[in-house]
Structures are given as C-alpha cells and as structure tokens.
Amino acid sequence: MGDAFGAIRAVARAEVRVGWRATLLMGVVFGLVAGIVLGGVGLAGRTASAYPRLVEAVHLDDARTLVAADQPQLAAAVPSLPGVAQARTDEAWIAQLDGPALRFVSIGAPTTAHENLLDPVVVEGRAPARDAADEILLSESIAQSSGLGVGSIVTLRMLTLDQVSKFDVGFGPPAGPSTTVRVVGIGRMPAWGGALAPVQAGPAFAAKFLPDIIGYSIYVRLAADPDAAQRFGAAFARTAAVVDQISPSLISQYTQRTVELPSATVDPSVRAAEQVLVGGLVVFVVVLALGGLQVLGQSMVRHHGVRGGTQRVESALGMRASERAAARVLAAAGAAAVAGIVAGGVALAAGWLEPLGSQARFEPEPGFRPVWSLVLLGGIGTALVFSLVVAATAAIAGRRRATVVPSVRAAAINPLRRWPAALLGTRLAMHGRLGRGGVPAVATVIAASLAMAGVVAAISFGASLQRLVDTPARYGHAADLTIVDAREADIARLVADPRVAALDVGAAGTAELADGDQIEVTSRDVRKGRMPIAVAGGRMPTGPGEVAIGPRLASRLGLDVGDTLEVRRIQGGTVTLQIVGKAVITSQNHGGIGDGAVVAPDVMRQVAPGQPLYDATVLAVPGAADALFAELSRNLEVFQRDVPTAVANLADLVTLPELLALVLAVVAGSGLAHALLTSGRRHAREVAVLSVLGATPGQVRATLAVMAATTVLPALVVGVPLGLGAARVLWWQLATATGVAGDLAVPGRLLFVIVPAVLVAALLLSLAPAARAARTPPAVALATG
Amino acid sequence: MQVSASFEATARAVDAPLPDDVPDPSAVGPAAPPELVVRGLRKTYEAETAPVRALRGVDLTVGHGEFVALMGPSGSGKSTLLHLLAGLDRADEGSVTLAGVRTEELSGSRLARLRRRHVGLVFQFFHLIDHMSALENVALAALVAGARPAEATERARDLLDTLGLLEKQGERPAALSGGQRQRVAIARALANRPTLLLADEPTGALDSDGAAEVLDLFTRLHHDGQTILMVTHSADVAGGAQRIVRMRDGMLLGGGTDAFGEQP
Ligand SMILES: Nc1ncnc2c1ncn2[C@@H]1O[C@H](COP(=O)(O)OP(=O)(O)OP(=O)(O)O)[C@@H](O)[C@H]1O
Ligand SMILES: [Mg+2]
C-alpha cells in the first residue's frame, strides 16, 4: 500500500509538472460556471422566499379590521373576542398631504408598544421615534407615487369624521388640525392598504392627535387553532351588528364588517410571478450546469489523452486503474481547490443580487445577503465534482483501446479529397480516439452541436420574449386608451379627432357552448382606422358564420383554425361557427389573455344574452396618447394601457435567456477553443508524419484548418436548426399557456452573423497549433508523439 | 514468398506518370554527382543537465544506387544523422547536399518540396496514420506531392500489390501485423519514387520472419537501382547491404566517404 502511494505521488508530481497550467485554467473556468450555477440557485431561493420572508420579518398580522372612531366600544371589544391571541389597536386619521402631488392618505399610529405584531421593514432611514410627534414613515409605493423621500417635509391637513362621511359628495377644505412632519423612513410590507395606513407615525403623534382620529386600525394575531380565523370573523360580525344597532357610525360606508386575513391570502399574482421567475431560473441553472459538466468532462478527457501513452507505461509498471486515476486526482487537487474557491466566491458575490423582477419589492433584507451554506457547501461540492470528473476522465482516457479494428472501404480516394489537407484533416477530426485523440470526435461534434443549439434556442426564445413585451398588440393590448361605457357623442368626437389613429367599439358578453361551457365573446365594431390585433393563425372573422378564438381557448378546447364551434342561441337551438383564426384578445372582465372568442356584431347579439359591456378602444397617433388621456379623463372613465400580470412577469425574465446564451456561448466556446488549441498537440505525430511525407508548412496549416472546420461545421449545420426547433417548441408552449401568439421571432440577422463568425473563429484558432507545429521540428514530434 | 512473385510490378509502377516535377531517376547516369554528400555535420541538443553533442563532425557520401548500412551503439547519433539528412531537423554546423542541392539554406517549404521529391523515410515504429486504411496511408504521400486522387489511388494500389498487400488495402494499421505495417510504410516511402530511401532500424520492431521480408524487399529495391541508407543494429541485416558504415559518439569510423570503405 505504501508502495502504491509512493507511485501515486510520483505520477502526480509528473502530471503537475507537465499539465498544471491547463488544469488550473479548467479549474478556474469550471469554478466560474459552478459559481454562476450556485448564484442562480441562491437567487432562485431568494426570489422564491422573498414574500414569505417579508411576511415573517414584519410579523404580519393574521387578521385586521378598521373600526370607526364613533364606535369605540367595538374597538374595545375586539381584543377579547374568540380566536384572538394578541391584538394591537392603532389610531387612524385621513389627511390631505401637501406634497409634490396633492392627495389624500390615511395615517396610522400605535398608542402603545406592541411586540412582534406588524413592524414594517425599514428599507431607508429609520422608524419614527416614540417621542417625536413630527416624524412619519411612508410605504414604498406612496413614497414613489408622491415623489417623497427621507428628509422630505410635508404638511398633513386632517379631515374631521364628518368630512370623511362626505368624502364622495365633497366636503370643502380639511377642517381638522394641520401639522408639519418630516419623512424619516421608507417602509416595506407585504400588504399595505385596507386597514393598514401607508403613512405610519409614532405613539407621540397618536397621543397628540387623539381627539381628531377617524377610526381604529386593529391588527390581530389569531390563536393557533385552525378555525380561529372563522371564529374571530363570526364574533366580530356579531359584535359589530350589535354596536351598529346601539350607536350607528357616521362613516359606516367606509368601515368593514368583515375582517381581512393578510397572512392567509396571498395575491395570486405574487404566486404566479414567483413560479415564472423561479421556473426560468431553474431552467437557466440546469442548462448551465449540464453544459459546464459536459465541457469540463470533454476537456479533461482531452487533457489526459494528450499524454495517453504515459498511462499505458504506468499500467505496464503495475499501477492499477484506480491508482492511476488517484494520481491524477492528486495532481489536480490544487485546481480543484481553485475551482471550489472561485465557485464559492462567485456564489458569495451573487449575494448582492436582489430577488428577480417583481419579487424584489418584497425583499425584507435588501442588499448583500449571501447564502453561506451555498457558498461553503457549494464551494466544497464544486471541488469534489471537479475531482470526480478528473478521476472519471482519467479512467476513460486510460482504458485499453478496442481490439477489433473495423476495416474501411477500399474505395479510391474521393476526388473531393484532392488536397491531402482535406483527406487527413477530416479523418483526424472525425476519428479522434480515446487514448490519444482524447474525446471521440463524434462526442466533440455532438457537444458542440448541443451547445450551439442551446445558444441559438436561448437567443431565439429571448428575442420572442422581448418582442412580446415590446408589442402590446401581441398580448391583446393594442389600444392606448379604453373608454368604459362610451357614449355615441363622445365616440363621434373622437373619430373626428386627428390624434386618434384607430377606434373600435367593442362589446363583450358571455356565450354558452353547446356542451354548456361558458366563454367570453367580444365583437369589434371598427369606427376608424385599423386596430392592430395579433392573429396567431388565420384571420379575424368577417361574416356571420365565423369566429376567431384565443390561443389559450383553442388549446383548452383542442380546436384549431378550420374546425367549428357550436354556440347556443339565446332564442334556443345552436349556431355553428367556423373558426377562421386565432386572435389574441384580452378579456374585459378579468384581464385574462387569449381565452375569449371574437365574432361579428350580429352574431354577438344572437349568442350573448343581456346587455353587453360596451367600451371604446382608442389607438392614438404616435406621441399623442398622454395628452389625449389627460384631456379625456376630465369627464370620462378612461384607462390607459396596462401590462397584464402574466406579461409583466415574463418581462422580468427578459434578460435571462440572453444571459444564458452568453454564458453558454462562453462555456461552449472555451470548450471548443480547448479542443482546437490542443488539436495540434494531440495530433502532433500525424502532423509530423505529414511533414515527413514532404508537406509544406502551408499544407500543415491547411490540414489543421480543415480539422477545425470539420469540428465546427456539423455543429452549425445541426445546432442552428436544432436550436430553432427547440426554441419554437418551448416558445409555443409558453405562448399558449400565456394566451399570446406562439410564432417564434427568429433573430435572422444575428444568426446570419453567428454562423460565419464561429467558422472564422475556429479557423483563426487553428492558426495557433499550426504555428506550434511549424516551430517544432518533425524529428522531435516523432520522438515524443 | 509473395513479395518476390509480384516484384515485376514495381517496374510497372515506376513507369507510371510521375507526380509533380520529380526528376526521373533513370535519367541519371553513373557519371552524375553522388546522391548524398554530408560535410562536417554537427548537432548538439540542449539537455537539462549538460548539452548532448549528438553529432560531432560527420562526413559521408552515398553514391547513386548504393545500399549503405549504418551501424553503431545506441546513442551514437544514427537517428539524429538520418533526421538531419531528411531535413526533419536543422544541423548546427556543416552541410547536407541532397541530389545536388544544399539544404541548409532552404526555407521550410522548399525543404519540404525537396524532401517529397527525393527522400523516402521508413521508421522502426512505422508511424502510419491510424485513422486511414493502408491504401490511404500510401496514397496520402502521393497526394502531398500533388498527384490527383485517381493517380494517387492507382499508384498506391500498384505499390501495395507489389509488396503483396493488395488484399489488405482497406485495413487500418491496427489490424495489420508488424511486418505488414512496415511493408505499408515502405510502400508509402516509395510512393513518390524518392531518389534516396532512408530507413531507421526498419527491422527493429519485427520478428525474424518480418525482418527477412523487409530485408528481401530492400535488396530487390537496391537491385532495381534504389539508393538506400539503412540504420540497423543487426549484423545479419547489415549483411544485406553493399557497404557498412560504423558510427560511435557522433562520429563515423573510417571517414565514411570511401565508396568501398568496408565490404560486408
Ligand atoms: N530531442 C533530443 N533532445 C535531447 N537529446 C537528444 C534528442 N534526440 C537525441 N538526443 C540525444 O542524442 C544522442 C544521439 O541520439 P540518437 O537517437 O541519434 O541515437 P541512436 O544512435 O539513434 O540510438 P539508438 O540506436 O538507440 O536509436 C543521444 O545521446 C540522445 O540522448
Ligand atoms: Mg535511433
């Protein structure tokens, strides 16, 4: 055993002497990739946990309610209602805030100290001091929308309870006290709004303005039993009903008789965003990890293969395969450590990354937040994986070659192989073998093709995503403005307005399919211009027997263009509609994309019972939308275009495929560069033989260039279409799930550049081994090869 | 032995049109200058410990059609000398004149052209290309010299036929015996009809049958007018040569210029 270890050490020392540079480089590159993977995992974790961590950090209340100031007995009763474990009663005011933008805000302030119940995370500045009546903390969203920050001085003019009761009918200037306060902090909370005021002050404020409160915000920590929420809710409703009878409130229309349950109800858009973002990150991490492992594996096999002969000698001297592999692992221990340190370092640096996209607004600890377990275990794991790859590839490279050598066709030399460079170059590229050539050439070509496919797929997918986000028509939001319940007079005025490029009057209603399924149908009455609507296939309906359905509805019903849809008529019986296209239309009811149907107006009247919802959608000429909105909103209910949550979530992911393409290209590119740069050394003997036969340096260069091209060309020929195919399938799936058009945006110009660029890069890379071959006298190459 | 049975084919093969502008060796008369003239050749290797003076002033002349055996103890510089003669490495001092051309001042690509026209090389360990069939290995040499694929194939077939290997033309080197591999290597060395055949221990890796095969082939080539310089450790093998030159410590014993220095 001691002997074996001595031999292992000796071999390891020799390996370090000859190959430390290459091994170290592989360690650094692998460490970088592993670090990005670890960073991605950490980021996915941070993104997925942002919301629950914020809930925990702020000690979010389980239940809350707002009680009017003129019903103090109800507020006093809440803490002792069934199901309540702990309660906190804050005082509440409504004030006009004289900031950069005039608005009404609600203000809350605790009267007593409270433990572990609703403390906003202060992301900037500090919380109001207990004894300062002139300090406030703002919610992030109000700070942003009102243009206020830490240090801002604002005046709060409070409303009286009487004024609040007249809020919707007009009440004159605020009649309550005025006070000037300073913004000392910006706070973060998962569920501002409702009973939780976006302006928070301290106990001193509460004491000072006690006479002027309009209500009590009561936050409750429920008992641990599962039906505590229900018990509390029922008890509160009962108590409130009793109090309402004894002393009705002035502002009963603004107070609730049900309780909010903030910790139990999570906004579904938060969940959806989290799923999309984490899903995207997981795909990113998995693809990158597989790519990195594959490239490291192949480079390592090649690395061991360059001196494949030494293992045969060691084997002849009696070293077992495990000992030979152990020697190589020992030799690569330094590089493995470097890989681990680099990976850990990158993972540590990734601690700066905030949660992805929309989830960043829930991060309770903004800034540097490394995952130490990921840094340490990930670093160690990376070093271990690196060593494992070294061992496995050493074993592969040291394996005895196959004994059966297939004969080749004894055909005449193909005329295409007129140049010896073409004959030898393609042979060497296609028939690299274990032991000397290292990676079987087929494996190199497959790896390069997959990498190429990955890059192309990521780029195309990213381009499609970008196009979706940039083109509102693709998610059914072509119009700049939507006017709800538009009257004909307003419509006529708008049609005449030169700032209006297109105007449709849409009607929406619900129709029933023959099988009882309910779908939303819309009809569009074109009054001016042409509203761009994404048609994912076919066309829009024009006649009475036609319908266009949304992509998501099509996939749910399993129907396509050319099929028919049977819809119940209001007067009984059914009408059969021909599906002439797939159109991306957003629902007017729930904002869902692509799950409705579009029909002609008279079909609409036949199939949708009741008064349909009318709206006018307006596309402004470029640049005119804002002015038009400002003007119309003075006397009409107008909405500007908003980005649907599903699309907003995807928009947050837009850079991910591009980043993936970039990192994959770097990883695959370095693998390919390694293959090409070592090609001269791996085939040193063959190149020397070529010189012996009288090949000029030019012919040697040509041979290596052909080799490089033969390695890269199949990757381009196979990888580009494969990548486009993969992107098409993936994009189609995502598009259908989202309800938008599923056609892929092929980045033609980019691909047009990539293909020759890769080829030229390969040819340039082949110059290096050619120069080395020219410097080495063939006699030396023959002796060492 | 099948080698001798098909030997006439060599003559036919030699009559085939020549690739490139290789001068026809049959045009060279007995009055022509010697095939190879070496003067004052020195080569020192920079080793880690002390420099190794592999050649310390070698003078050697090989006439047309001569068959010279080069013998000497291991490490005496035989392979080094052969490599310098073929232009596979550069000498520190001295001159090599190949077919009347001084090689030391030639550029890499001119040297390569000279080599492909005039020198065929055979090694102890064959140095065939594993990924190519026997036929392709031989044809590659002709292709390098500018032959068209059809010509190269025909010439390779002829040579393999001559050497009794036609039925093995589709095999990879790994599927051939040592003797067969060496015969493929010899066919490759002859593909461009070199005026000088250099062989470094061509029988060194072969058993006695294989060695006999190769020696028989060399003898016949010699009878056909081929100039041969062959390194060997075996007195038996050297016995087939016309003249034996001995080497020790980087120098030739007895000068080596005398065309009739030492009869076997
Ligand atoms: N590339 C090289 N670098 C350093 N020294 C070398 C090199 N090639 C040969 N030598 C040294 O030059 C000397 C002559 O070597 P050479 O190979 O010419 O001997 P040889 O006569 O062919 O021996 P053998 O009969 O064993 O083949 C030896 O001492 C050898 O160690
Ligand atoms: Mg030798």
Distances (CA, A) of A388 to A36, A296, A329, A342, A394: 20, 11, 8, 17, 10
Burial B156-173 (b: 16+ CB within 10 A, else e): bbbbbbbbbbbebbbbbb
pLDDT at residue A222 above 90? yes
Ligand 1, pocket residues at CB < 6 Å: A 780, 783; B 45, 47, 52, 54, 72, 74-80
Distance A554 CA to ligand 2 centre (A): 79
Beta bridge partners of residue A125, listed in sequence order: A185
pLDDT at residue A193 above 90? no
Please answer yes or no on whether A779 and B113 come within 8 Å at the CB atom. Answer: no
Of A430, A694, A779, which has the smallest distance from its Cβ to B145's Cβ?
A694
CA distance A650 to A648: 5
If one counts every other C-beta atom within 10 angstroms of the C-beta of residue A351, the result is: 18
Please answer yes or no on whether A693 and B188 come within 8 Å at the CB atom. Answer: yes
Average pLDDT, chain A: 85
Of A406, A427, A689, which has the smallest distance from its Cβ to B127's Cβ?
A689
Residue A99: pLDDT band with limits 50, 70, 90: low
What's the mean pLDDT in A354-369? 87
**pLDDT digit string, tens, across residues A100-109:** 666 788 999 9
Three-state DSSP class for B264?
coil
Q: Which residue of B has its CA nearest to A686?
A: B129
User: Cα-atom radius of gyration of chain B, to the nearest Å?
Assistant: 18
Residue B146: pLDDT band with limits 50, 70, 90: confident
- For an interface test with A, give the residue of B21, B123, B130 to mutate (most A CBs within 10 A): B130
Please answer yes or no on whether A424 and B83 come within 8 Å at the CB atom. Answer: no
Distance A783 CA to ligand 1 centre (A): 10
Cβ contact B234:B41 at 8 Å: no
**Residues of A with CB below 8 A from B172's CB?**
405-408
Q: Which residue has the CA at smallest separation from atom 25 of ligand 1? A: B74
- For an interface test with A, give the residue of B140, B154, B197 to mutate (most A CBs within 10 A): B140
Residue B21: pLDDT band with limits 50, 70, 90: very low
Residue B129 structure tokens: 């290309």
Distance A391 CA to ligand 1 centre (A): 35
**pLDDT digit string, tens, across residues B65-120:** 999 999 999 999 999 999 999 988 989 999 999 888 999 888 888 999 999 889 99
Cβ contact A75:A228 at 8 Å: no
- For an interface test with B, give the residue of A17, A408, A433, A692 to mutate (most B CBs within 10 A): A692
**pLDDT digit string, tens, across residues A232-288:** 999 999 999 999 999 888 887 777 777 888 888 777 777 777 888 888 888 889 988
Distance A313 CA to ligand 2 centre (A): 20
- For residue B47, give how far its alpha carbon lies from the nearest alpha carbon of chain A (Å): 13
**Residues of B with CB below 8 A from A431's CB?**
130-131
Looking from the CA of A1 toward its CB, the CA atoms found within 13 Å total: 0
CA distance A474 to A641: 13
Distance B82 CA to ligand 2 centre (A): 9
User: Cα-atom radius of gyration of chain A, to the nearest Å?
Assistant: 35
Distance A649 CA to ligand 2 centre (A): 72
pLDDT value at residue A107: 94
Q: Which ligand is nearest to the CA of B54?
A: 1
Q: What ipTM does this complex have?
A: 0.84
pLDDT value at residue A308: 63
**pLDDT digit string, tens, across residues A479-507:** 888 887 778 888 999 999 999 999 988 88
Q: Which residue of B has its CA nearest to A413?
A: B149
Sign of CA dihedral A697, A703, A707, A710: positive
Of B42, B76, B81, best ligand 1 pocket probe by most atoms within 8 Å of the beta carbon: B76
* Helix, strand, coil percent content, chain A, rounded in steps of 5: 55, 20, 30
Q: How many helices (H) and strands (E) does chain A have?
A: 25, 19
Residue with tokens 């009739």: B260
pLDDT value at residue A546: 92
What's the mean pLDDT in A291-309? 81
**pLDDT digit string, tens, across residues A549-605:** 988 888 888 888 999 999 998 888 889 999 999 888 887 666 678 888 999 888 888
Is the whole model's pTM more than 0.80, yes or no?
A: no
Three-state DSSP class for A155?
strand
pLDDT value at residue A464: 92
- For residue A333, give how far its alpha carbon lies from the nearest alpha carbon of chain B (Å): 28
**Residues of B with CB below 8 A from A424's CB?**
129, 132, 140
**Which ranges constitute the DSSP H helices of chain B?**
2-5, 8-15, 78-86, 108-118, 134-144, 149-162, 178-190, 208-223, 235-239
Q: Which amino acid is at A338?
A: V
Residue with tokens 């004024």: A163
Say which range, A94-98, A456-460, B57-61, has the weakest mean pLDDT.
A94-98
CA distance A87 to A226: 18
Distance B48 CA to ligand 1 centre (A): 14
Sign of CA dihedral A320, A322, A324, A327: negative
Name, in order, each residue with C-beta under 8 angstroms of A573's C-beta and a sequence gap of 6 or more.
Answer: none
Residue A703 structure tokens: 């041979």
pLDDT value at residue B210: 83
Cβ contact A100:A146 at 8 Å: yes
Of B79, B90, B203, B248, best ligand 1 pocket probe by most atoms within 8 Å of the beta carbon: B79
Can you spell out the DSSP letters for A77-90?
Answer: HGGGSTTEEEEEEE
Atom of ligand 1 nearest to the CA of A783: 1
Chain A residues whose C-beta is within 8 A of a chain B C-beta are 405-410, 412-415, 417-420, 423-424, 427-428, 430-431, 433, 685-686, 688-699, 774, 777-780, 782
pLDDT at residue A91 above 90? yes
Can you spell out the DSSP letters for A293-336?
Answer: HHHHHHHHHHHHHHTHHHHHHHHHTT--HHHHHHHHHHHTHHHH
Average pLDDT, chain B: 82
CA distance A285 to A281: 6
Q: What angle do CA B252, B255, B261 make, to 5 degrees?
A: 105
**Residues of A with CB below 8 A from B169's CB?**
410
pLDDT at residue B245 above 90? yes
Residue with tokens 């041969």: B228
Q: How many helices (H) and strands (E) does chain B have?
A: 9, 10
User: pLDDT above 70 covers what percent of chain B?
Assistant: 84
Q: What is the dihedral of CA A655, A660, A662, A667, to 10 degrees?
A: 160
Check residues A439 and A91 and name the one with the higher pLDDT. A91
Cβ contact B70:B245 at 8 Å: yes
Please answer yes or no on whether A692 and B131 come within 8 Å at the CB atom. Answer: no
- For residue B176, give how far its alpha carbon lies from the nearest alpha carbon of chain A (Å): 10
Length of chain B counted residue by residue: 264
- For residue B263, give how far its alpha carbon lies from the nearest alpha carbon of chain A (Å): 31
